[in-house]
Amino acid sequence: MKEGDKMRIRVGVAGATGWAGSLLTRTILSSKEFEITGAIARKHAGEDIGLHLGIEQVGVPIAVDINAALERTIGVLVDYTSASSVKGRTLQAIDRGLRVVIGSSGLTADDYAEIDQAVRSSGVGVIAAGNFSITAALAKNFSLFAARYISSWEIIDYASANKIDAPSGTARELAEEIARWPRTISNYLSDRRMVRLKLAEP
């Protein structure tokens, strides 16, 4: 097929009206490679997602859950919601044969293990990255490297106490991973293995 005729990837966005989700939805709507075919949000059900974002009517109504969104064909679900709902929706999507990209932070190691088991059983792909920021990815990588040689750590999450997920899911995921990280021989000389997570307000 010609470039303009090839089939685009059909994407559903959970959290399509939120801060990150709306930006992603706008980007997909202007893309030639992707197509918005599903939009999930807690509010504004039935409203056209294009009109809601102040663009134009795109023929995709906002759905309150994944079941309603799947009345249209979706190939990939991108989830930018919250830790309290993302796991259940991801498992539903996997069960329905959808590929999933998780942009929500705050999932625990047990959550990831459950999702991993579902993925291996179904054969669909899932990318779970609670924080897509390059600086967060580098900070995590460097922290895990350092954790091999240090027996105790303190993570300071600099955010407002009014933040919904304070301490942030990113900080909690990092703390959990550091606590589970393999130690070097020198670390075994001491059993002091402690991770402290503290919130610091601006």
Q: How many domains does the chain have?
A: 2
Same domain membership, residue 101 and residue 23: yes
Q: What is the pLDDT of residue 146?
A: 85
Same domain membership, residue 189 and residue 175: yes
Same domain membership, residue 190 and residue 103: no
Q: Summarize pLDDT for 139-193 with one digit per residue, the tens.
A: 888 888 888 887 777 888 776 767 666 677 788 888 888 877 665 544 433 434 4
User: How far, CA to CA in Å, does 7 sit from each of 77, 117, 132, 157, 160?
Assistant: 17, 31, 27, 43, 44
Same domain membership, residue 107 and residue 87: yes
pTM: 0.76
Q: Summarize pLDDT for 41-96 with one digit per residue, the tens.
A: 988 999 999 999 999 999 999 999 988 888 888 999 999 998 889 999 999 999 99
For the cut 80, the answer to whether the pLDDT of residue 36 exceeds it is yes
The CATH number assigned to the domain holding 151 equals 3.30.360.10
Residue 81 DSSP symbol: S
Expressed as residue numbers, the domain containing 156 is 134-200
Give the domain-ending residue among 102, 128, 154: 128
Same domain membership, residue 178 and residue 138: yes
